[in-house]
């Protein structure tokens, strides 16, 4: 059976946690880039865009690296 955790020493970390952390970092980078280019003013409610980007990146990283 394939383990669903990442083993670092004696510490087991869920793979979904790693993909969410990477998704969060990518979302931070994207929102800073959108603010720098002044494209975030075209969104009516930016927190929803932030959450949507976080979900898209997290699911994308999870499916890209086969972490499930």
- The torsion angles phi and psi of 14, rounded to 5 degrees, stand at -65, 140
In terms of Cα–Cα distance, which of 57, 68, 48 is closest to 22? 57
What was the pLDDT predicted at 23?
96
Q: Return phi, psi of residue 2, to 5°.
A: -80, 130
Instruction: Determine the pLDDT at residue 2.
Output: 63
pLDDT for 51? 97
* pLDDT per residue as tens, the chain (68 positions): 566 777 788 888 888 898 999 999 999 999 999 999 999 999 999 999 999 999 999 999 988 876 55
For residues 68 and 15, is the Cβ–Cβ distance under 8 A? yes
CA 14, CA 67: separation in Å to the nearest integer?
A: 9
Token pair belonging to 24: 């969060």
Which tokens hold the place of 56?
């898209």
């Amino acid at each position: 059976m394939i383990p669903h955790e990442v083993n670092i020493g004696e510490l087991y970390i869920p793979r979904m946690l790693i993909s969410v952390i990477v998704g969060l970092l990518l979302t931070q980078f994207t929102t800073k880039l959108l603010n720098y280019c002044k494209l975030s003013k075209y969104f009516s409610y930016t927190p929803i865009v932030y959450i949507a980007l976080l979900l898209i990146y997290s699911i994308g990283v999870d499916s890209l690296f086969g972490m499930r």
